Structure 1
Amino acid sequence: MVNVSPGPAPALYPSVITHVRTSPRHYQLTHRTYLWLIDLDAPPRLPRMLRPLAGFDGRDHFGGGSTGIKTGLEAFLATRGITLGGGRVLMLAHARVLGYVFNPLSLYWCHGPGGELRCVVAEVHNTYGERHCYLLGPDAARSADVAKEFYVSPFFPVEGEYRMRLPVPGERLGVTLHFDQGGHRMFTATVRGERRPATAGVLLRAAVRHPWSTVAVSAAIRRHGIALWLRGLPVRKRPRHRPQEGLK
Structure 2
Amino acid sequence: MKPQLVYTRTAHTRRTPLPHSFRYRGYSWLVDLDELPRLPRWLAPLARFEPADHLGDRRASLRDNIDSYLAEHGIDLRGGRILMFANARVLGWAFDPLSVFWCRDDSGRLVCVVAEVHNTYGERYRYLLRPDASGRAEVAKRFYVSPFNEVAGRYRIRVPEPGDRLFVSVVLDADGPRFAATVTGRCRPADTRSVLRAALTVPIAPLRVSALIRWQGIRLWAGGLAVVPRPPSQETDR
Q: State the TM-score bracket (shorter-chain normalisation).
A: over 0.9
Distance, in Å, in 1 between the alignment partners of 2:59 and 2:167 is 31
After superposition, the C-alpha distances for 1:18-55 in whole angstroms (9 at most, x for unaligned) are: 00000111100111110100000010111111100000
How far off its partner does 1:196 sit? 1.3
Does residue 229 of structure 1 match 2:221?
Answer: yes
Deviation at 1:64, TM superposition (A): 4.5
Quick one: which amino acid aligns to residue 193 of structure 1? G
State the partner residue of 1:188: 180
The answer on 1:68 being equivalent to 2:61 is: yes
Say whether the 8 Å CA contact 1:62–1:76 is kept in structure 2: no
Taking a change above 3 Å as real, the CA distance of residues 201 and 189 of structure 1, as seen in their structure-2 partners, is same
Is 1:81 equivalent to 2:90 in the alignment? Answer: no
SS at match of 2:42: helix
Please give the alpha-carbon distance, in whole angstroms, between the structure 2 residues aligned to 1:211 and 1:245.
31
CA contact under 8 A between 2:135 and 2:161: conserved in structure 1? no
Hey, what does 2:41 align to over in structure 1? 48
Give 2:209's aligned amino acid.
V
Q: Whole-Å Cα distance in 1 between the matches of residues 106 and 57 of structure 2?
A: 26
Q: Tell me which residue corresponds to 2:120.
A: 127
* AA aligned opposite 1:161: R
**Separation (CA, whole Å) in 1 of partners of 2:16 and 2:25:** 24
* Residue 211 (str. 1) matches residue 203 (str. 2): yes
Aligned to 1:21: 14
Give ranges in structure 2 of 5+ residues lacking alignment: none
- Listed as ranges, the gaps of 5+ residues in structure 1 are 1-7
SS at match of 1:139: coil
CA RMSD of aligned residues (A): 1.2
Range moving further from structure 2, 184-193 or 237-246:
237-246
Counterpart of 1:201 in structure 2 is 193
1:140–1:165 CA contact under 8 A, matched in 2? no
Alignment of 1:128-167 (within 5 A): 128-139=121-132, 141-167=134-160
Across the two proteins, how many residue pairs are aligned to each other? 238
Residues 173, 155 of structure 1: CA spacing in aligned structure 2 closer, same or farther, 3 A cutoff?
A: same
Once the two structures are superposed, what CA deviation does each residue of 1:65-106 show, in whole Å capped at 9, x if it has no partner? Answer: 121111111111111111110000000000000011101100
1:72 maps to amino acid: N
Deviations 1:151-197 (A, max 9, x none): 00000111010000001111111111100102x11011000111111
* Partner of residue 33, structure 1: 26
Letter in 2 for 1:233: L
Contact 1:79 1:245 in 2 (8 A): no
* TM score, norm. by length of structure 1: 0.93
Structure 1 residues 57, 68: closer, same or farther in 2, change over 3 A? same
Cα offset, 1:225, TM superposition: 0.5
Amino acid at match of 2:218: I
Structure 1 position 242, deviation (Å): 3.6
